[in-house]
Amino acid sequence: MSILKDVLAELFSMFVADARLTLAILAVVAIAALMINATGLPALLGGAFLLVACIAVLILSVKREAQRRQKP
């Protein structure tokens, strides 16, 4: 039971460690869902938006972290 508790705690800390990244990805997913449901956008285009936006969020997050670590 202790191993399961440790694994769940580690998974939780992965998502909480970078709250900005988590919130940005959740926002992208919500926007993609709204675009598909509200505008009737084909699911394939919504999926493409989701892919591109998630990659952009990830790149921006990595860039921000690299700049933060570079500062003295």
Domain count, the chain: 1
Say what the pLDDT of residue 9 is. 83
- Domain membership of residue 29 as a residue range: 17-70
- Specify if 2 maps to a domain: no
- Specify if 1 maps to a domain: no
Count each helix (H run) and each strand (E run) in the chain, helices first. Answer: 3, 0
- Specify if 10 maps to a domain: no
Task: Check if the beta carbon of residue 57 is closer than 8 Å to that of residue 21.
Answer: yes
**Mean pLDDT, consecutive 10-residue segments, the chain of 72 residues?**
84 77 91 93 94 95 88 72
Say what the pLDDT of residue 68 is. 86
- Specify if 9 maps to a domain: no
- Specify if 8 maps to a domain: no
- Specify if 54 maps to a domain: yes
* pTM, entire model: 0.73
- Specify if 64 maps to a domain: yes
Say what the pLDDT of residue 6 is. 87
Say what the pLDDT of residue 33 is. 94
Per-residue pLDDT of 61-71, as tens digits, reads 899 888 888 87
- Specify if 50 maps to a domain: yes
